[in-house]
Amino acid sequence: MSGAITCSATDLSALLGPNATAAASYICDQLGTANNKFTDVTYAIDNTYLLFSAYLVFAMQLGFAMLCAGSVRAKNTMNIMLTNVLDAAAGGLFYYLFGYAFAFGESSDGFIGRHNFGLRDFPTLTADYSFFLYQWAFAIAAAGITSGSIAERTKFVAYLIYSSFLTGFVYPVVSHWFWSPDGWASPFRTTDRLFGTGAIDFAGSGVVHMVGGIAGLWGALIEGPRIGRFGEGGGAIALRGHSASLVVLGTFLLWFGWYGFNPGSFTKILIPYSSGSNYGQWSGIGRTAVTTTLSGCTAALTTLFGKRLLSGHWNVTDVCNGLLGGFAAITAGCSVVEPWAAIVCGFVASLVLIGCNKLAELLKYDDPLEAAQLHGGCGAWGLIFVGLFASKKYVNEVYGASPGRHYGLFMGGGGKLLGAQLVQILVIVGWVSATMGTLFFILKKLKLLRISEQDEMKGMDIARHGGFAYNDDESVHFSRVNHVSPVPRSPNPPAV
């Protein structure tokens, strides 16, 4: 622990009278015990902070579930909710068996970890169980992003396969590259850092959001658009989600969880930046929460007025997506930029999202939740943003001052950090395309990817899951029109 108490019996005995040596030894023993207690308390507080952050990030799964449910049509609600549950469940097992070892196990080549499979020989000197739980919550977030892109038309078995592969292999390899001290592009390396600095992606604009977004991009491209999404003339037809209320609820839950996602990525809180000062890592955590908030708020307002000019409407769903785009963008640099820079980040993120959505319509690309545009596009901008606006002071505080450590181009730090950020974008796009693109292509060839046209028209809830999410008049009417027999309610429900 920094500032640990030290005591020497030899030094003390010269200051004491009779029985000096015994008295000095006793005093030093007591001080040593007190020092150990302080160290234990420090570890306990840091682990409690990390566990609380892990709980917040895990709560984002509920946010994803609500957002996804509200963004799809009512006939597919049960399906998308089930996929969100299984992202967490399947991801938990596969990250435990393989993912954590690939991500944070020691490696000799900087490409992939090779130790701690199934948490063997764990905890280590540098990681405890709270760290595993936190990283698992991140891994399943990436899988949740992808599920939104391929919603309303994907076979259930395909969800199981891609989610397990993504959380157990694809995502962990990327997180090893940029977050493990052994990763070839990690800023935590002590020597041979990429361009002398390493790529800075503090909480995962690239590692989490781009990975999930690019995976979803390939899934949606290979599957093709939903039936009815584009007319015969090629024009886009809105297939609106059934509940703006669920979209807003999911957005607020994600916003709340992001305070564990970004500030929690410090993993420790009791680290002073200077002796005898009230300024320490706790200050950096507070600043990170502020930059996260400012970016999201700016993106939401920019999207509100931008979409009003383009469509003539004040659309709550667009504003929610804009807000999340601002969060996805600031995630990479939340700890190393000034609050004013976060406003710039959110403003540009909104423009990136609007532009990506326009491009998607032109290319007849169909993503029910705009996940690839939001997480992939805004995540890429977030990495570039770090290369432009990272502060020297904050980079040195978070990653340690060392020779050759670079910072943002616009902050006077030269272009090497920006170069490292661009390399990160390229390798993530390449890696995820090679792995997830290939997987989705194989699933399509094996006829395991997309449901039949008949099932898609009926809706996946009644076709694949035995009933509707809602027992209301609208669902009954839909059943009659489509000659589907709804699942009857039990006349005598079991007692709870």
In a domain, 14, yes or no: no
Could you read off the pLDDT tens digit of each residue along the chain, which spans 496 residues? 445 555 655 555 555 555 566 665 666 666 667 776 777 788 899 999 999 999 999 999 999 999 999 999 999 999 999 999 999 999 999 999 999 999 999 987 899 999 999 999 999 888 999 999 999 999 999 999 999 999 999 999 999 999 999 999 999 999 999 999 999 999 998 888 999 899 999 999 999 999 999 999 999 999 999 999 998 877 888 899 999 999 999 999 999 999 999 999 999 998 888 766 788 999 999 999 999 999 999 999 999 999 999 988 899 999 999 999 999 999 999 999 999 999 999 999 999 999 999 999 999 999 999 999 999 999 999 999 999 999 999 999 999 888 778 999 999 999 999 999 999 999 999 999 999 999 999 999 999 999 999 999 999 999 888 888 887 655 545 544 454 444 444 444 444 3
Q: Residue 422 CA to chain centroid, in angstroms? A: 19
The verdict on residue 390 lying in a domain is yes
Burial class (CB in 10 A: 0-12, 13-18, 19+), 7: middle
Burial class (CB in 10 A: 0-12, 13-18, 19+), 125: exposed
Task: Write out the residue range of the structural domain in which residue 458 sits.
Answer: 31-227+249-270+289-465
How confident is the model at residue 29, as a pLDDT?
Answer: 66
How distant, in Å, are the alpha carbons of 171, 185, 356 from that of 428?
A: 10, 12, 18
The two structure tokens encoding residue 468: 């509707």
- 277: in domain: no
Residue 217 lies in a domain: yes
Task: Give ∠ CA 335-336-340 in degrees, rounded to 5.
Answer: 95
pTM of the model: 0.89
In angstroms, rounded to a whole number, what is the distance separating the alpha carbons of residues 445 and 222?
A: 10
Please spell the DSSP secondary structure of 256-270, one letter per residue: HHHHHHSGGGG----
Q: Find where tokens 């540098």 sit.
A: 126
**Calpha distance 170→440 (Å, rounded):** 13
Q: What is the CA radius of gyration of the chain?
A: 25
Say if 24 falls within a structural domain.
no
Residue 327: its pLDDT value, please?
Answer: 98
In 3-state terms, what secondary structure has residue 60?
helix
CATH number at residue 205: 1.10.3430.10
Q: How many domains does the chain have?
A: 1
C-alpha 152/C-alpha 225 separation (Å) is 10
Cα–chain-centroid distance for residue 398? 19
Are 391 and 408 contacting, i.e. CB atoms less than 8 angstroms apart? yes
Write down the residue that tokens 């994907």 correspond to.
154
Q: Has residue 282 been placed in a domain?
A: no
CA-based nearest residue to 324, from 371, 383, 265, 277: 371
Cα–Cα distances (Å) from 478 to 36, 244, 485, 487, in that order, read 67, 21, 10, 13
In a domain, 280, yes or no: no
Contact yes or no for 38/270 (Cβ under 8 A): no
pLDDT of residue 237: 87
Separation of first and last alpha carbons in the chain: 51
Q: How far apart are CA 416 and CA 270, in angstroms?
A: 31
Answer for the pair 7, 14: CB distance below 8 angstroms, yes or no.
no
Contact 299, 264 (CB under 8 A): no
Residue 204 tokens, joined: 């995962």
pLDDT at position 275, please? Answer: 66
The first and second tokens of residue 305, run together, are: 């007025």
Retrieve residue 268's tokens: 């420790």
The model's pLDDT over 467-485, given as tens digits with 9 standing for 90+, comes to: 888 876 555 455 444 544 4
Cα 85 from Cα 91, distance rounded (Å): 10
Of 99, 61, 95, the closest CA to residue 80 belongs to 61
Asked whether residue 233 is domain-assigned, the answer is: no
CA distance 122 to 139: 19
